[in-house]
Structure 1
Amino acid sequence: VIQERVRHIEYSPPLPEPYYVPTGKEPRPKPINEDMGTVIYTYNPMSATNY
């Protein structure tokens, strides 16, 4: 929640405001088996329901 009041503008800005500015410190997936020279990312989606 922001403390300042929302201000509506009456014009279209020449450039859109970015929603997110990357910092370069975002977490990255860790590569698996980097000894082989191929980067493979693991994707293990978790389900809210156990089957």
Structure 2
Amino acid sequence: MSRNLLGQETSPYLLQHKDNPVHWRAWGPDAFQTARKYGKPVLLSIGYAACHW
């Protein structure tokens, strides 16, 4: 299984998900170009990181 591309990001939230089994990509033109090229839908995950204190 290939890794997702979030390990290259600087966002702490995105880095939390770099080892997820989903092949996530950061939002941007490359994600849409790849989806278009392979005829795949774009699935959007919206989230946040919060401190419990």
Higher helix proportion (structure 1 or 2): 2
Is TM-score (shorter-chain normalized) higher than 0.5? no
Give the TM-score taking structure 1 as reference length: 0.24
Bigger RCO of structures 1 and 2 (CA < 8 A, at least 6 apart) = 2
Give the TM-score taking structure 2 as reference length: 0.23
Larger-gyration structure (1/2): 1
